[in-house]
Amino acid sequence: MADGTQSKCRAVCLISGSGTNLQAIIENINNKSLNIDLISVISDNPMAKGIQRAEKEGIDTKIIDYSTFEDRKEFDKSVEIQILDLDPDLIILAGYMKILDTNFCNIFSGKILNIHPSLLPKYKGLNTHQKVIDNNEKYHGASVHFVVPELDDGPVIIQYQCEVDKNDDHHSLQKKVLQGEYIIYSKALQWFSENRLVFDSGNIFLDGEALLKPRLIRKD
């Protein structure tokens, strides 16, 4: 991968929807703060706006339309075959709404990163912003983690933390958190692309040292 002498980290991005994280990644590649080769963007949803964003940048796109498959197993197999064929160094999940099966997670272990809109291990799953409001949390944020078969459970690399204001609703919180997501995701991706970030036997190593707790970026 990218260390000046070797070739660039080849990444595939999986999306299902709006793709604003994808957009931020593309912008960081374009402004050279992120040194990865985004070889393809794959969506399970033909209507995903992220597909248009990628096409506009001339990035290869593939639709694996979930609705056209007989069952979940066939769909999972098709995604697996497609990605094996692309043979990426890194798989970036950016708002991909399908849970990856155990086999997939094992084949690509240590190569799959996800971003989740909460301060994991709090609030796994969906509707995190509303849950944070309902529970009167003081802080909220986002986490980038390596993917393991258990949902939103892989070790966390980096988090973004912001305060929850008393006037915040689901939308304002989502907006605040997304701004942080764009920062921490590209940071983690850049570390990975430089071989600084490694996942081995359930542990994360950053610059050769075990990362015992996630790096934290706070909103000023």
Q: What is the dihedral of CA 160, 163, 168, 171, to 10 degrees?
A: 0
Binding mask 12-41 for ligand GRF (x = CB under 6 A): -----xxxxx--------------------
Under the binding rule (CB under 6 A), the answer on residue 141 touching ligand GRF is: no
Is residue 185 a contact partner of residue 137, using CB atoms and an 8 Å limit? no
Is residue 21 a contact partner of residue 42, using CB atoms and an 8 Å limit? no
Cα separation, 42 vs 72, whole angstroms: 17
Binding mask 70-109 for ligand GRF (x = CB under 6 A): ------------------------xx--------------
Cα separation, 134 vs 132, whole angstroms: 6
# chain residues binding ligand GRF, by CB under 6 A: 13
Pairing label, strands 61-63, 139-146 = unpaired
Q: Which residue's CB atom is positioned nearest to ligand GRF?
A: 95
Name the residues annotated as catalytic.
116
Under the binding rule (CB under 6 A), the answer on residue 214 touching ligand GRF is: no
Under the binding rule (CB under 6 A), the answer on residue 116 touching ligand GRF is: yes
Under the binding rule (CB under 6 A), the answer on residue 115 touching ligand GRF is: yes
Of 88 and 117, nearer to ligand GRF (C-beta) is 117
Cα separation, 43 vs 208, whole angstroms: 34
Kindly state the smallest distance separating residue 81's Cβ from ligand GRF, in Å: 24
Kindly state the smallest distance separating residue 138's Cβ from ligand GRF, in Å: 20
Q: In what order do the strands lie in the sheet with 90-93?
A: 61-63, 36-43, 9-15, 90-93, 112-116, 139-146, 156-163, 215-218
Cα separation, 202 vs 186, whole angstroms: 22
Kindly state the smallest distance separating residue 176's Cβ from ligand GRF, in Å: 11
**Judged by CB under 6 A, which stretch of 64-72, 110-118, 163-171, 206-214 contacts ligand GRF?**
110-118
For ligand GRF, the binding residues (CB under 6 A) are: 17-21, 94-95, 115-117, 142, 178, 181
